[in-house]
Amino acid sequence: MRPVRLATACVALLLSLAACGGTDQAAGSSAEKSLILATTTSTQDSGLLDELLPAFTADTGWQVKPLAVGSGQAIELGRRGEADVLLVHSPAAEEEFVAEGTAGPRRLVMHNDFVLVGPSADPAGIRGVPATEAMRKIATTQAGFVSRGDESGTHAREEQLWDQNRIVPSGQWYRATGQGMGATLRVASETSAYTLTDRATYLSQKGNLDLEVLNEGDQALLNIYHVIEMTKRAGDGVQPDGAKAFADWITGPRAQDLIGEFGASAGGARLFVPDAGKDESALGN
């Protein structure tokens, strides 16, 4: 819950400052608008937030405090009314959450894809096979695998791939970090293990990693991001106006252009594909 603002005290303060010639500065301070964005570590680790948030503030006047956690944790922050808007990539969990009734609209923003990365020697032989088969090969050979293990969207997708093989990973070959994507990639690199990662975070950090993309392009590896507005049904401290401002902006033309240019504008690969207004069922086809 945010602290309650005392309107009468603020009015008294402004009147006092006006007498001292400080009205404009005080009014600017009191009028500052700020919101809390709960999002995934991939948007932070890839550098996308650094590109988007200053532009959003410049366009709307809303300041943003980002909380970069796993999608599951971001959704829980929304559930408790501790965030105004969510930018997440765990569709099944998102749909379940929205059905609870405390969230507002959920809109398609962008996608990229997950990739399986690992040592160039590829001891499990996962190159060029379907993603589910790649996961089965890793488990069968007990090649090292590092999981985020943090209820993030990436962790949820990993679990789906294990479930499709009816595999419950365990043993010394399987390690969960409980950390974000950047940290998990570093552990996989240091231990010559495989991991599942969003492509954007991998590409932004690959210069410091001894890992290669070994499995990609499968429809099962599609990684879709949505923005979810919170409402006061989640808590009195939620700011629906800020949530709507962010959701409208990130699905609008300026933000969608910035998303499409991100990465490619620096001479690299495009890290995200803007999707606002598209038919979600057609993505990746």
The CATH number of residue 132's host domain is: 3.40.190.10
Four-point Cα dihedral 265, 269, 271, 276, nearest 10: 70
CB neighbour class for 170 (10 Å; exposed up to 12, middle 13-18, buried from 19): exposed
Residue 272 near residue 262 (C-beta atoms within 8 A): yes
Confirm whether 8 is domain-assigned: no
Residues 76 and 123 occupy one common structural domain = no
Residues 211 and 264 occupy one common structural domain = no
Last residue of a domain, one of 198, 221, 244: 221
Residues 196 and 253 occupy one common structural domain = no
Last residue of a domain, one of 179, 197, 221: 221
From first to last of the 285 residues of the chain, give the pLDDT tens digit.
Answer: 444 333 323 333 333 333 334 434 333 443 579 999 999 988 998 899 999 999 999 999 999 999 999 899 999 999 999 999 999 999 999 999 999 999 999 999 999 999 999 999 999 999 989 999 999 999 999 999 999 999 888 999 999 999 999 999 999 999 999 999 999 999 999 999 999 999 989 988 999 999 999 999 999 999 999 999 999 999 999 999 999 999 999 999 999 999 999 977 545 678 899 999 999 988 876
Tell me which H or E stretch contains 60.
Answer: helix 48-60
Q: Which domain holds residue 108?
A: 34-112+222-282
Confirm whether 185 is domain-assigned: yes
Rounded to an integer, what is the distance from CA 85 to the centroid of its chain?
A: 12
Write down the pTM of the prediction: 0.82
CA gap 261, 100 in Å, rounded:
35
Among 266, 255, 232, CA closest to 64 = 255
Last residue of a domain, one of 221, 249, 272: 221
CA gap 130, 220 in Å, rounded:
9
Residues 193 and 127 occupy one common structural domain = yes
Residues 127 and 188 occupy one common structural domain = yes
Bridge partner list, 65: 36
What are 99's two structure tokens? Answer: 């059905």
How many domains is the chain built from?
2
Residues 141 and 278 occupy one common structural domain = no
Confirm whether 6 is domain-assigned: no
Residues 122 and 192 occupy one common structural domain = yes
Confirm whether 78 is domain-assigned: yes
Confirm whether 16 is domain-assigned: no
Residues 52 and 103 occupy one common structural domain = yes
pLDDT of residue 265: 56
pLDDT of residue 45: 87
Residues 119 and 178 occupy one common structural domain = yes
Residues 103 and 154 occupy one common structural domain = no
